[in-house]
């Protein structure tokens, strides 16, 4: 709801006070696409996509001055860089020259008529008729992916048949029925059974957060394509009310808090002494649960994804990512994709799985070590938490890493999907960046464990919780809105401190809100205890993995620049969700659950 409110609010136009309508239309068009299919239908057709930097060929150049003046604001596109998808074979007739030189020649001709020079900044691709129309037989990786899919379907079919045939048989071998679709479906829709009703709230929050992430990511992907009217995007980014969304990337780290909280909670709750054996078993369980789905999605992205569709924007949007998925497949398998070549990402959201794995290993180790200190564990963790923040502040200061706020509000960065921004790969997605979140989760886990016997609910504290419960939404929204003010402070010490503190502050507020929510146990809590939340929450892992691919399949084949006004974003987001959840259900049912059940059975 918050997202849709913000999106609606973004409809309010931000006036470009310094630019009147007439001047704006003198600027050369930023994005332009020739007809891709028509161009490549000719035997000697050649289509190229890339960006050019324009400079004036002679002074004074009124239009060029306008372009630079317009681009001064960070929330605007750099108008001296134009993006073009051109049918080179129609615009230029020298067939002996290299495709790239022909493309450059077209741009030079185009620029000359405007008394400017054009320099090729980035060539996305050049495709000829034969590139598109040749049938390519599947290579080894593509065949391997098909075999994996076939094996999964076969296993499911065989196991379901076995389950059905032996449904009244006492001597049925349980291991052979773990891949049964019927049994897994039954397990999926089973009501949530746990002593901790308060933890049930988590499911609802998780589902809503996942849906919001899908919508925001599809908006970002839409913005990374060619836009019909770039001003629409600039308006959204400049609108102070959308700061809550631009500054909401912190929310993802709440999942890490939650995950390390649950690790501590589960480990401490079990009466058995936990040692190295428990640790290994936990690790194995986690890997078994995460690996198959993740690798299947990365495998798909690295092999068949580019073949799903085509269009002038498709190769640029998908081919590069697909190539990286192929190259980095092994690092995804080892959960170190955020450490190996962190500047290259295959499916942006997959960093989370790696960080989650690294943090849960750390959480388990820390919990084991701190078990010796019993009650002293909490103060130790608080000290570690502060230490982690200081470490991040130091690292951010040395390497000039910034918080997302400073680059998510720059239109050009969003358009290039944060390519060449070290802060993203080296800080936002790094294990050290998530260290405070992990320790915060552990601290809460220990706190809950050691204060369980005490009365949390005496009247004074109750009132305090109630007060915080009422205040938490305004505080969280207010904090992210403050970004509007902070983004203009560029002092390096402030930037580093903000990078380190911003997320931790948000996390602490969220944790307090969750505690208040769990203790107050009022009406809004009951809304979250709906059974459906639990079912949908179980699909979170595949949803987070595949929504990026799906959103790009939906919008990436567009033959023309896309309209990206606020009202265009919502349908794309909703369509993405509508396709993502059923597919996620299939992945959970056919891959994740069977794997988990098989290994639960073996490790028992």
Ligand X SMILES: *[C@@H]1O[C@H](CO)[C@@H](O)[C@H](O)[C@H]1NC(C)=O
Residues forming the site for ligand X (CB under 6 A) = 53, 62, 65-66, 69, 71, 78, 80-81, 94, 96-97, 101, 121
Q: How far is the CB of 42 from ligand X (least distance, A)?
A: 19
Q: How far is the CB of 84 from ligand X (least distance, A)?
A: 15
Name the residue nearer to ligand X (CB basis): 97 or 481.
97
We find the least distance from the C-beta atom of residue 118 to ligand X, in angstroms, to be 12
Cα 565 to its chain centre, rounded Å, is 21
Instruction: Catalogue the long-range contacts made by 334-337 (C-beta closer than 8 Å, 24 or more residues apart).
Output: 335/287, 335/290
For residue 163, the cross-strand partners are: none
User: What stretches of 424-557 show up as alpha helix (H) in DSSP?
Assistant: 431-450, 459-481, 483-486, 492-520, 523-528, 531-537, 540-555
- If the CB atoms of residues 71 and 309 are measured against ligand X, the closer one turns out to be 71
- The rounded distance, in Å, linking the Cα atoms of 168 and 187 is 19
Shortest distance (Å) from residue 282 CB to ligand X? 48
Q: For ligand X, which is the closer residue by CB, 230 or 594? A: 230
Which one, 32 or 73, has the nearer CB to ligand X? 73
Shortest reach from residue 468's CB to ligand X, in Å? 43
For residue 397, the minimal CB distance to ligand X (Å) is: 25
Given the complex with ligand X, which of 120 and 509 has the nearer CB atom? Answer: 120
Nearest 5°: CA angle at 521, between 519 and 522? 140
CB nearer to ligand X: give 9 or 120. Answer: 120
Closest contact distance (angstroms) between CB of 65 and ligand X is: 4
The pairing of strands 81-87 and 31-33 is: parallel
Q: For residues 78 and 538, which CB has a smaller minimum distance to ligand X in the complex?
A: 78
Judge whether 88 and 102 are in contact, CB under 8 Å: yes
For residue 80, the minimal CB distance to ligand X (Å) is: 5
Q: Which residue lies nearer to ligand X by CB, 9 or 81? A: 81
CB proximity list for 175: less than 8 A, separation 6 or greater: 598, 601, 602
When the beta carbons of 35 and 71 are compared against ligand X, the nearer one is: 71
**Between 418 and 581, CB nearer to ligand X:** 418
Q: Least distance from C-beta 16 to ligand X, angstroms?
A: 13
State the Cα–Cα distance between residues 108 and 88, nearest whole angstrom.
12
Pairing of strands 116-128, 81-87: unpaired
Task: Yes or no: say if 84 and 111 are a contact pair by the CB < 8 Å rule.
Answer: no
Give, as one character, the DSSP assignment of residue 538.
T
CB of 123 to ligand X, least distance (A): 14
Range 418-446 burial, b when 16+ CB lie within 10 A, else e = beebebbbbbbbbbebbbbbbbbbbbbbb
Q: How many angstroms separate the Cα of 249 from the Cα of each of 76, 165, 561?
A: 21, 49, 27
Instruction: Give the phi and the psi of residue 521 in degrees, each rounded to 5.
Output: 55, 55
Contacts of residue 603, defined as CB under 8 A and 6 or more positions apart, other chains included, come to: 281, 284, 285
């Amino acid at each position: 709801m918050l997202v849709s409110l913000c999106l609606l609010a973004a409809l309010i136009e931000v006036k470009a006070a310094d630019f009147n309508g007439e001047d704006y239309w003198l600027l050369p068009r930023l994005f332009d696409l020739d007809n891709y299919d028509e161009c490549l239908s000719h035997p000697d057709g050649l289509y190229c996509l890339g960006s050019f930097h324009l400079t004036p060929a002679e002074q004074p150049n009124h239009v060029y001055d306008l372009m630079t003046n317009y681009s001064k604001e960070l929330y605007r596109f750099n108008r001296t860089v134009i993006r073009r998808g051109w049918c080179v074979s129609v615009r230029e007739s020298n067939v002996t020259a290299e495709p790239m030189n022909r493309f450059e020649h077209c741009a030079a001709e185009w620029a000359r008529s405007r008394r400017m020079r054009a320099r090729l900044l980035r060539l996305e691709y050049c495709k000829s008729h034969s590139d598109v129309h040749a049938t390519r037989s599947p290579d080894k990786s593509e065949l391997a992916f098909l075999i994996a899919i076939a094996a999964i379907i076969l296993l499911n079919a065989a196991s379901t048949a076995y389950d059905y045939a032996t449904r009244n048989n006492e001597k049925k071998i349980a291991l052979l029925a773990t891949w049964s679709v019927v049994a897994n479906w039954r397990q999926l829709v089973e009501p949530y059974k746990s002593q901790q009703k308060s933890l049930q709230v988590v499911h609802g929050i998780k589902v809503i957060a996942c849906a919001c992430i899908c919508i925001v990511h599809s908006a970002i992907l839409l913005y990374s394509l060619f836009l019909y009217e770039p001003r629409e995007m600039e308006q959204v980014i400049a609108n102070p009310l959308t700061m809550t969304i631009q500054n909401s990337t912190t929310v993802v780290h709440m999942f890490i808090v939650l995950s390390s909280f649950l690790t501590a909670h589960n480990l401490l709750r079990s009466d058995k002494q936990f040692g190295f054996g428990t640790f290994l078993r936990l690790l194995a369980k986690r890997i078994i649960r995460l690996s198959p789905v993740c690798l299947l999605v990365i495998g798909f992205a690295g092999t068949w994804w580019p073949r799903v569709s085509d269009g002038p924007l498709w190769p640029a949007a998908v081919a590069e990512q697909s190539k990286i998925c192929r190259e980095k497949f092994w690092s995804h398998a080892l959960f170190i994709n955020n450490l190996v070549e962190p500047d290259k990402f295959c499916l942006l959201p997959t960093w989370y799985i790696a960080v989650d794995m690294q943090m849960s290993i750390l959480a388990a180790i820390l919990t084991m070590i701190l078990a010796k200190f019993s009650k002293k564990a909490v103060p130790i963790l608080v000290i570690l938490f502060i230490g982690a923040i200081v470490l991040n502040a130091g690292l951010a200061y040395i390497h000039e890493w910034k918080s997302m706020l400073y680059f998510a509000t720059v239109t050009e960065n969003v358009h290039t999907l944060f390519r060449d921004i070290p802060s993203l790969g080296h800080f936002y997605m790094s294990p050290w960046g998530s260290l405070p979140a992990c320790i915060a989760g552990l601290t809460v886990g220990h706190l809950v464990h050691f204060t369980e016997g005490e009365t949390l609910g005496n009247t004074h504290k109750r009132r305090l919780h109630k007060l915080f419960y009422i205040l938490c939404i305004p505080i969280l929204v207010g904090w992210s809105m403050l970004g509007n003010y902070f983004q203009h402070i560029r002092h390096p010490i402030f930037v580093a401190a903000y990078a380190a503190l911003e997320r931790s502050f948000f996390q602490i507020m969220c944790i307090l809100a969750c505690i208040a929510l769990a203790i107050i146990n009022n009406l809004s809590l009951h809304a979250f205890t709906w059974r459906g939340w639990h079912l949908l929450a179980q699909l979170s892992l595949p949803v987070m993995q595949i929504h990026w691919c799906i959103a790009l399949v939906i919008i990436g084949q567009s033959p023309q620049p896309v309209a990206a006004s606020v009202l265009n974003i919502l349908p794309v987001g909703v369509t993405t969700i509508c396709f993502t959840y059923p597919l996620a259900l299939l992945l959970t049912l056919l891959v994740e659950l069977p794997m988990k059940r098989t290994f639960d059975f073996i490790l028992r």
